[in-house]
A and B are shown apart, each in its own frame.
Chain A
């Protein structure tokens, strides 16, 4: 039986791309702009996909996103997307390729599981920014919430302002650059990867230890901050995994026996 209504108003099974975008320019320089004020999440995403995939336009601007959720997710093509406003939760998740600039702020879980590409947010981001990030650069010019880059497996997260608690929680690979202060439990249970912090640290998480920065760290920080025009703080401290949790120790004989 076909379900043709949704009491919660979330899914629109029969939605079509509204085809409201204005397209300017010729050939490879074509640009598209559309106003999302009166469109639903699904209509916005369908329109974006139509422009990027069907019309083959590599430069799309979305006006008035109105902090809606799940905008610009799952885009798997090289293109430039400008979002002229703020996004709600789960914005730009599951993407592979695009360069996205958000002129406002984003809610929780921005760029979740990004494979490659660039997401630049001009204002703040909520918690869980770059959760399970696999590649690419996620840049937040101002502050982020808690658990930034939880379970990150690659790529780089750059924060111009402060970060909340449990930043880099369960970080597996990749890098985080936090120019401001960070909350408690920094790098808790991280497996690998590197966190650079320019400001004050409330407390370190389990198995997160400080390391001596090398010249290549310096070069990396200069390069990345230079690309996005962020001011470099006076000094960066470097944090890595202490590798104590990699193996069971003698105080956990039962667990050890179970695994081995």
Chain B
């Protein structure tokens, strides 16, 4: 099943951390396995990297805590070696960290070098994007990662009912479009030509951390944009090039888009006003952030909509 949600403030900012938490929590019944947030805070010259060092359901054997510490130090050393100047390191969990640093080189070698540390995965990398995902429902994740009060411009999120791969952080959405900065995707559905696209994208050098079919959408879109297409054109092409049933939301530093497959098999409800656009698998999620009576509608099959800031 799974539930997806997105919110974009057309001008100005909002407490997107709390807003998205409320949206996702109201759809808990669609997926209690894991919850994920892709939040866009104020853009800065520095890069923010969210990493995990291990999975929360890994067995915590003797020396686990020491190993986490050692791996974190190793990652910091590797960042320094590549010329990154670390500004702040902050860990909400022993296995999950947020690192802010200045760096001007290419992102791919940096991400690859960090992920070479055993067990670690770069969850997001960008100037304003931060991806937080963990097991259990949205309220618990938001509390553990102190997301309430996260001020920003737009965000997407996901509650997951695992069908295609394991219940762990690697299988949780949103997916960052490795190695492209500030692009993320959440997806509701199944892709049937996943392996074909995965092989294709792997041949041009991209890495995939999970067995989850949704992971390819982010990389697929980012690669198209790197090749010169706009987000909207890339999403329109995906309707023909991705097989299966899907409704997905894609975000970049300044835009939020939705695409629905040609069978209109997965739901999405949309609310649009002058200052805010909110979308979710169920209307209850939109009502969780908008108090007054609203008009909403379902986008049709093969519809692609993009809102820019």
Q: Do A and B bind each other?
A: yes
From 256 to 298 in chain B, residues with beta carbon under 8 angstroms from any chain A beta carbon are: 262-264, 267, 269, 282-284, 286-287, 293, 295-298
Knowing A66-B284, A145-B264, A164-B301, the reply to whether A126 touches B269 (Cβ < 8 A) is: yes
Cβ of B148 under 8 Å from chain A: no
**In-complex Cβ contact of B284 among A88, A126, A183, A184 (8 A):** A88
Cβ of A123 under 8 Å from chain B: yes
Note all chain B residues with C-beta closer than 8 A to A147. 264
- Whether A164 contacts B264 by the Cβ 8 Å rule is yes
Knowing A8-B32, A9-B29, A123-B295, the reply to whether A145 touches B300 (Cβ < 8 A) is: yes
- Whether A86 contacts B283 by the Cβ 8 Å rule is yes
Cβ of B9 under 8 Å from chain A: no
Cβ of A205 under 8 Å from chain B: no
Cβ of A68 under 8 Å from chain B: yes
Closest to B296 in A: A105
Knowing A9-B29, A67-B287, the reply to whether A146 touches B282 (Cβ < 8 A) is: no
**In-complex Cβ contact of A124 among B28, B264, B297, B301 (8 A):** B297
- Whether B32 contacts A7 by the Cβ 8 Å rule is yes
Cβ of A191 under 8 Å from chain B: no
Note all chain A residues with C-beta closer than 8 A to B298. 124, 126-127, 145, 164
- Whether A127 contacts B284 by the Cβ 8 Å rule is no
The main secondary structure of chain A at its interface with chain B is loop
The main secondary structure of chain B at its interface with chain A is loop
**In-complex Cβ contact of B264 among A89, A105, A165 (8 A):** A165
CA distance A86 to B269 in the complex (A): 12
What is the interface size of chain B, counting residues whose CB is below 8 A from a CB of the partner? 20
Encoded as 1 (CB less than 8 Å from any B CB) or 0, chain A from 182 to 199 comes to 011000000000000000
What is the interface size of chain A, counting residues whose CB is below 8 A from a CB of the partner? 28
Encoded as 1 (CB less than 8 Å from any A CB) or 0, chain B from 6 to 42 comes to 0000000000000000000000110010000000000
Closest to B301 in A: A165
Q: How many A-B contacts are there with CB distance less than 8 Å?
A: 66
Note all chain A residues with C-beta closer than 8 A to B295. 105, 123
- Whether A126 contacts B300 by the Cβ 8 Å rule is no
A169 nearest CB across to chain B (Å): 11
CA distance A85 to B29 in the complex (A): 22
Closest to A89 in B: B282
Note all chain B residues with C-beta closer than 8 A to A10. 29
Cβ of A108 under 8 Å from chain B: yes
CA distance A66 to B296 in the complex (A): 12
Encoded as 1 (CB less than 8 Å from any B CB) or 0, chain A from 1 to 25 comes to 0000001111000000000000000
Interface residues of B (CB under 8 A from A): 28-29, 32, 262-264, 267, 269, 282-284, 286-287, 293, 295-298, 300-301
Q: Supply 28 A–B pairs (Cβ within 8 Å), ascending by A.
A: A7-B32, A8-B28, A8-B29, A8-B32, A67-B282, A67-B286, A67-B287, A69-B284, A86-B283, A88-B283, A104-B293, A105-B295, A107-B282, A107-B283, A108-B267, A124-B298, A143-B297, A145-B298, A145-B300, A146-B263, A146-B264, A146-B301, A147-B264, A164-B264, A164-B301, A165-B263, A165-B301, A183-B300
